[in-house]
Amino acid sequence: MTSHISLKAEVTEELSGNRLDQIAAKLFPEYSRARLQSWIREGTLLVNNKQLRPRDRLEPGDCLVVEARLEAAESWVCLLYTSDAADE
């Protein structure tokens, strides 16, 4: 199963001058910085409709847009707990 992600945010004065990946992590805290960096490299996260590098610095008013798809985990992990402790 695939879920579609559509995000949009504007760089504030407070965040300007920082790296794109750092700003994206602040603006979209529900996603890991590694995930955001991969979206930047793939061109799924654009700034002003342009693909930039994670290390590029942004200015106030720059617009970040994410249009991505996330694949749901296809396998589940089953854990079994056993105890060797004697009954008390």
Q: For the chain, what are the domain ranges?
A: 2-71
* Residues 59, 16 contacting (CB under 8 angstroms): yes
pLDDT digits (tens, 9 = 90+) for 28-46: 999 999 999 999 999 999 9
Q: What's the pTM value of the predicted model, to 2 decimals?
A: 0.77
Q: What is the pLDDT of residues 34-87, one digit of tens each?
A: 999 999 999 999 999 999 999 999 999 999 999 998 876 544 455 566 666 655
Rounded to the nearest 5 percent, the helix, strand and coil shares of the chain are 20, 25, 50
Architecture of the domain defined by 2-71:
Roll (3.10)
